[in-house]
Structure 1
Amino acid sequence: MDPIIAATHANPYPYYEKLRAEGGLTFHPKLKMWVASSARAVCAVLAHADCRVRPVHEPVPNAIAQGMAGNVFGQLMRMNDGERQRCPRSAIEPSLTLIDQDEVREHVNARLITTDADGLYKAMFRGPVCVVAALLGFSPAQSRAISELTADFAACLSPLSNDLQLAAAHVAAQHLRGQFIELLADADVSSALLAGIRQRFDGDDETLIANLIGLCSQTFEATAGLIGNALVMLQHRPELSGASMEPLLNEVQRFDPSVQNTRRFVAASCEIDGVRVEAGAVIVLLLASANRDPALNDNPDHFLLDRPNRRSFSFGSGRHQCPGQALAMSIASATVRKMLDHGIELDRLNWCYRPSLNGRIPLFSFVGA
């Protein structure tokens, strides 16, 4: 096993424990990357000004640089540092915190959910994006289109995507841009979320549109993994099916997060947590390992609904902490509750993890189906 393969391993957590025992920040000679596995090291890297979200020499991946997907990617706040990150974030983050949770549940409950394998897939991947699109003011039919296009666009974010998927991502980015241009031009759109973002945003329309696309794409995989990993936990612990969804999902995101790792790129030689790291180095931050660090959480390998002082890096930390955490948790909680109410047969679930270098997202089938 290595720190990248671990994300989709059946049980990577003993391996993460071994890495923490070897030191919080260590060099992996095979991967030629630094690995931050402890809570202290992960926190230090996330807070360090010289640790950037993209390499200085490659702000947009070369594979998508010549196309619309690359244009969108280059403007995403999550893929930038400095003012290109702060400007859109200052508009989007406050608006996300003001979303009415009852409205989120209404949008989730308005969607048809079936408990077969196809229904689970749509509820995990399509449903959350549909909810975000509806909150932004799209109609139900438009929201479904946005979710389909977002699935195609999200392929540009993965190094595992092939040429056909990347070509589809460029086309999807173009269509998404067109959808948002029309939304922003429609004076009859009623969306408190969109109105709040537009009121606070102090930038050009292309940057705004790119980050609205980013809001959908960031919802796509992370929320799917959160929902899926909750179902996995409920199969292991069926007695939790009657529990309140909020504490259940709060512990799932710590215990078995959908985003297992992220990366930072060192822009200038510096010292991090007592270790000298040279400019150009790549650091893999094992967020899931840090969550299980006893220095961060007592009894970290136990799943506790009523965990006191729960701490987690699953949604990041510091200047790049995910601004949509509350929204993702609300969508996931409502979706899992609806699945349970519809009588999903947890004991018949089988799954494998979606191929990924950093995500832990189960794809379900049913035993005997």
Structure 2
Amino acid sequence: MDPITAVTHPDPYPYYASLRARGGLVFDPGLGIWLASSAAAVAAVLAHPDCRVRPPHEPVPRAIVDGAAGQVFGRLMRMNDGERQRCPRAAVEPGLHQVHAEEVTQRVAALLLDLPSDTAARLEACQFRLPVAVVAGLLGFAAHRLPEMARLTADFVACLSPASEPAQLAAAHRAAQQLARHFAARLEQPPISPLLQRIVTGFGAQDHDGLLANLIGLLSQTFEASAGLIGNTVCALLGDRQLLADLRAAPEQIAELLDEVQRHDPPVQNTRRFVAAPCSIAGVTLEPGAVVLVLLASANRDPQLNPQPDRLLLERPARRSFSFGSGRHQCPGQALAQTIAGAVVDALLRQSTLDVPLGWTYKRSLNGRIPLFTTLPEHHR
């Protein structure tokens, strides 16, 4: 196992513990990168101003730089530092915090009515399609547009992975163009939704392209975070039938379960930082051009951060987690993502979906831990 293959391994956590035992920040000569595995090292790297989200010489990946997906990528707040990150965040974050949980729950309930009856297909739709549709609905898109917005978002996120193939990147470019057109049309057809109005007001009239890009970014971040969070929560319930029974008896604990799952088995296992100037972190001097693989999932299981880190504890005091980032790049949509996931999990607990024997593997990814479910054959029932 290595830090890349660990992401989709059935149980990467003993391996992460072995990395922490080697030191919080160590160089991996095989991969040619630094590994930050302890809570202290991860926190230091995420907080350091000279550890950037993109290499200074390559703000947009070469594979997409000349296409529509690259134009969107270059304006995403999550892919920038400094003003190009702070200004969009200041425009987007307040509106997300004003979304009411009751509205999210109502939208989830309405969308569940149109999902497939097949168990595995239903779970896949709950992970990938439904959360994006909820956010697109909050941004003002009509019900008949939601399936298309979810499909286009699924195509666009391929541009965020270095492992994507040429056909996937071509589809991502087309999706970026179509999503931008849909958002531009939505902005020209008042009245616009309260959430969209707050975001538009935050951006002002001077950065229309940045506005469109970061609206697309809201959908793409929802796609990644929600698919893994919902899926890994389902895995936790399927792996512990007593926990499943307890949650059905006390659904008010779903929020605590989600809080613990995102720490214990996070949807995003790692992220990268690129050193732009000489700096010293955790007693190590890093030179410009160095790459740090920031192992968020390992830091979450550091006993210095959370006592008894390998236990899944709903009532964990002072829970701490890096799963949604930290500091200036902490995900502004964490509360919304967890609200959507909570409504989905609550609905699944009320149905027979989780009573069907299911197996899973993990979606091919360099940083995302997203289970894909299959219904087991008859003899497993």
Q: Structure 1 length normalisation: TM-score?
A: 0.98
Shift in Å, 1:345: 3.4
Helix, strand or coil for the counterpart of 2:26? Answer: strand
Alignment partners' CA distance in 1, 2:72 and 2:314: 39
1:91 aligns to 2:100 (yes or no): no
1:100-179 equivalence runs, <5 A: 100-111=100-111, 112=113, 113=115, 114=117, 116-179=119-182
1:201-220 equivalence runs, <5 A: 201-202=203-204, 203-220=206-223
Shift in Å, 1:199: 1.7
Helix, strand or coil for the counterpart of 1:345? Answer: helix
Aligned to 1:292: 301
CA contact (8 A) 2:225 2:267 kept: yes
CA contact (8 A) 1:115 1:343 kept: no
Aligned to 2:183: 180
Q: Which amino acid aligns with 2:38?
A: S
Helix, strand or coil for the counterpart of 2:74? Answer: helix
**Residue 199 (structure 1) aligned to one of 175, 196, 201:** 201
Shift in Å, 1:8: 0.5
Alignment partners' CA distance in 2, 1:336 and 1:154: 24
Aligned to 2:250: none
Across the aligned residues of Structure 1 and Structure 2, the Cα RMSD in angstroms comes to 1.0
1:305-336: CA deviation from partner (whole Å, max 9, x where unpaired):
01000000000000000000000000011111
Aligned to 2:4: 4
Aligned to 1:237: 240
CA contact (8 A) 1:348 1:367 kept: yes
Alignment partners' CA distance in 2, 1:216 and 1:240: 31
Q: Which amino acid aligns with 1:34?
A: W
Alignment partners' CA distance in 1, 2:293 and 2:301: 16
**Residue 266 (structure 1) aligned to one of 259, 275, 281:** 275
Percent identity over the alignment is: 59
For residues 285 and 346 of structure 1, do their structure 2 counterparts lie closer, same or farther at Cα, with a shift above 3 Å needed? farther
CA contact (8 A) 2:348 2:354 kept: no
For residues 347 and 143 of structure 1, do their structure 2 counterparts lie closer, same or farther at Cα, with a shift above 3 Å needed? closer
1:322 aligns to 2:305 (yes or no): no
Q: Which amino acid aligns with 1:180?
A: F
Shift in Å, 1:188: 2.4
Alignment partners' CA distance in 2, 1:52 and 1:290: 19
Name which of structure 1's ranges 192-201 and 120-129 shifts more when overlaid on structure 2: 192-201
Shift in Å, 1:347: 5.4
Q: Structure 2 length normalisation: TM-score?
A: 0.95
Shift in Å, 1:115: 5.3
Alignment partners' CA distance in 2, 1:239 and 1:43: 35
Q: Which amino acid aligns with 2:232?
A: N
CA contact (8 A) 1:231 1:346 kept: no
Aligned to 1:368: 377
Q: Any unmatched runs of 5+ in structure 1?
A: none
Q: Which amino acid aligns with 2:60?
A: V
CA contact (8 A) 2:238 2:354 kept: no
1:171-191: CA deviation from partner (whole Å, max 9, x where unpaired):
0000000000001111123x1
Name which of structure 1's ranges 337-346 and 220-229 shifts more when overlaid on structure 2: 337-346
Alignment partners' CA distance in 1, 2:183 and 2:257: 35
Q: Any unmatched runs of 5+ in structure 2?
A: 248-252
CA contact (8 A) 1:95 1:196 kept: yes
Name which of structure 1's ranges 234-243 and 251-260 shifts more when overlaid on structure 2: 234-243
Runs of 4+ in 1 over 4 A off after TM superposition: none
Alignment partners' CA distance in 2, 1:273 and 1:193: 41
